[in-house]
Amino acid sequence: MQKIEHIGIAVRDLAAANETYAKLLGAPHYKTEKVESEAVETSFFRIGESKIELLQATNPDSAIAKSIEKRGEGIHHIAFAVEDILAEVERLKAEGLTPISAAPKQGADGKLVFFFHPKSANGVLIELCQDIR
């Protein structure tokens, strides 16, 4: 693992959350992006070498909508930057973490992403991110 790439925060109202985090971080978000495959709209803020990703559901059946319904708004996942996502997926599976999907897929911000179930990481959804080459 290279670094914490971003912390994902589930929000009900992306516009309102953008205002809050712009005040908190002293700078506006630098991009928004819809990820149709995940039924979310995202907004990114930079903080040092890491990022904050705000996620708003675009479909009431999406994972983000279900997460907010179950737990409320708040930290949804921690994403780690990796050099070789396939090798890191295999390493973590061998270490006993439970994958959520079969293979990496395209996510937001020009990344390949892969998720591990929170039950296998002390209640935290883990995302691996690799720049798409």
b/e 84-115 (16+ beta carbons within 10 angstroms → b)? ebeebbeebeeeeeebeeeebeebbbebbbbb
What string of pLDDT tens digits covers the 133 residues of the chain?
899 999 999 999 999 999 999 999 999 999 999 999 899 999 999 999 999 999 999 999 999 999 999 999 999 999 999 999 999 999 999 999 999 999 999 999 899 999 999 999 999 999 999 999 7
In this prediction, residue 62 carries a pLDDT of 94
Q: pTM to 2 decimals?
A: 0.92
In this prediction, residue 37 carries a pLDDT of 87
In this prediction, residue 133 carries a pLDDT of 76
